[in-house]
Amino acid sequence: MGKLYLVGTPIGNLGDLSPRAAQVLESVDFIAAEDTRVSLKLLNHLGIKKPMVSYFQHNIRQRGQQILDRILAGENCAIITDAGMPCISDPGEDLVALCHENQVPLEVVPGPSAAIAALAASGLPTGRFAFEGFLSVKASSRMEHLESVKNDRRTLIFYEAPHKLRATLEDMARVFGAERRITLARELTKVHEEILRTTLGEACDLYAQREPKGEFVLVVEGAPEPESTLVTKEQAAEMIVQLNGCGVSLSDAAKQVAADTGYKKGELYRMALALQGGEG
């Protein structure tokens, strides 16, 4: 049995193709490519001559089976897409699942992905994030999608085409609020790379005047933490009594609760004392 190699290719700058990616493309029996004309340019640049089959959205089922049969018969295959990592808003996911179902060994040769490059450069929190891919072209589905992530605290990553950018920014400002921060990562690793950190409102204003050009990743700040529920003075005094009941001196408890709630220590102390019927 052969093997499937998932090979990441550059998202603009050909210098980003790893030596291992080149070595694997050179060594396999054939390459499954999203668009063979685009991939031929990459192979020519590398000086590699290799048989290619096309594997794209509309022939995934039939072509996937053919690729699988060839691997089962002993050939090694590399799958590549026009740019970045296969399977990430690109063909590959079904073939990978098919290989797993048929116990076909698989190796990943990681390369750049626009989503991760944009997130890293965004200046927004990277600890937790959600990749949302492309929004639908249908207005109602787009709004539904945005509404579904409106309260997500994680940083959100979207892919967007230039001709849809204005409408998307407007929809985002409407759903997430004009103050929400966004980083627009444009033409990453290419000559006109631009990383613009702003707010949704300002991005709408900017692109109302400027023609959107090139490829974009939109990295949007997650929803803000909900405002902490306000504690009334009476509740604060109750908290002091409770702490006192747990062995904290009334004075220390008043100091702690005053710091937590912002009320004056002396006032809270007197209220707590009154609640206890004058006993300290």
Per rule CB under 6 A, is residue 84 in the interface with ligand SAM?
yes
Kindly provide the b/e burial profile for residues 220-231, where b requires at least 16 CB atoms within 10 angstroms of the residue's own CB: bbbbeeeeeeee
| φ and ψ of 194, to 5 deg | -145, 130
Cα 144–Cα 84–Cα 6 angle in degrees, nearest 5? 105
Q: Is 185 in the site for ligand SAM (CB under 6 A)?
A: yes
Interaction pattern, residues 102-121, with ligand SAM; x per rule: CB under 6 A: -----------xxx------
The least distance separating ligand SAM from the CB of residue 89, rounded to whole angstroms, comes to 4
Question: Under a CB-based contact definition with an 8 Å cutoff, are residues 48 and 94 in contact?
Answer: no
Rounded Cα–Cα distance for residues 10 and 25 (Å): 14
Label residue 138 exposed, middle or buried (CB < 10 Å: 0-12, 13-18, 19+): exposed
Considering the complex, what minimum distance in angstroms separates the CB of residue 187 from ligand SAM?
A: 5
Does residue number 215 form part of the binding site for ligand SAM (CB under 6 A)? yes
Residue 10 engages ligand SAM in binding (rule: CB under 6 A): no
Point out which span in 23-31, 87-95, 203-211, 221-229 binds ligand SAM (CB under 6 A): 87-95
Single out the segment in contact with ligand SAM by CB under 6 A; choices: 84-92, 96-104, 135-143, 145-153: 84-92
Between residues 30 and 134, which has the closer beta carbon with respect to ligand SAM? 134
Residues 152-171 close enough to bind ligand SAM by CB under 6 A: 159-161
Q: Are 113 and 88 in contact (CB under 8 A)?
A: yes
Q: Tell the burial category of 209 from Cβ atoms under 10 Å away from its Cβ (0-12, 13-18, 19+).
A: exposed
Does 83 help bind ligand SAM (rule: CB under 6 A)? yes
Cα–Cα distances in Å, from 197 out to 27, 124, 135, 218? 42, 9, 21, 10
Select 55 or 269, whichever has its Cβ closest to ligand SAM.
55
In whole angstroms, the minimum distance from the beta carbon of 252 to ligand SAM comes to 56
Give the residues lining the site for ligand SAM (CB under 6 A): 11-12, 81, 83-85, 88-90, 113-115, 159-161, 185-190, 215-217
